[in-house]
């Protein structure tokens, strides 16, 4: 079992290397259909498995196409990681779509809408209290 410090270092290295591959090395057109960025990498304690979370910008069709391209490139990514990184065993790689940025944007827009509605409610309450005086 690797220490948590080693696990986090390996995760950061995986994130950097996979990001580099997405930018320069993976030639699959499906991966280029949507803008892809690696948001997080979760490595198991024994360094045998890695979940790579990617954020994809684009339509639902582009996202599905990009995920299919990433799934087909999994073997290439793992073999490249084996060449680039000095590990005893290269972890099994799985790509997962991360929609947290999308959810965060939606929550911010809802909060902004609530904030815009609140001042009008406060103005109404102030007007009513002045009318009663």
Q: What is the pLDDT of residues 2-22, one digit of tens each?
A: 678 989 999 999 999 998 888
- Provide the token pair at 101: 């940025």
Q: Are strands 35-43 and 49-57 parallel, antiparallel or unpaired?
A: antiparallel
Rounded mean pLDDT of 52-69? 88
Question: CA 3, CA 120: separation in Å to the nearest integer?
Answer: 54
104 has a pLDDT exceeding 90? no
pTM for the model stands at 0.75
95 or 119: which carries more pLDDT confidence?
A: 95
Beta strands in 6-103 (DSSP E): 35-43, 49-57, 92-97
């Amino acid at each position: 079992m690797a220490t948590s410090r080693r696990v986090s270092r390996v995760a950061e290295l995986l994130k950097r290397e996979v990001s580099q591959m997405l930018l320069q090395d993976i030639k699959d057109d499906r991966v280029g259909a949507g803008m892809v960025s690696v948001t997080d990498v979760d490595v198991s304690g024994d360094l045998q498995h890695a979940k790579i979370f990617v954020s994809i910008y684009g339509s639902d069709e582009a996202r599905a196409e990009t995920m299919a391209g990433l799934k087909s490139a999994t073997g290439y990514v793992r073999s490249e990681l084996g060449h680039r990184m000095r590990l005893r065993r290269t972890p099994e790689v799985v790509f997962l779509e991360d929609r947290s940025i999308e959810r965060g944007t939606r929550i911010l827009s809802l909060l902004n809408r609530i904030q815009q509605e609140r001042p009008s409610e406060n103005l109404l309450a102030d007007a009513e209290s002045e009318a009663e005086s």
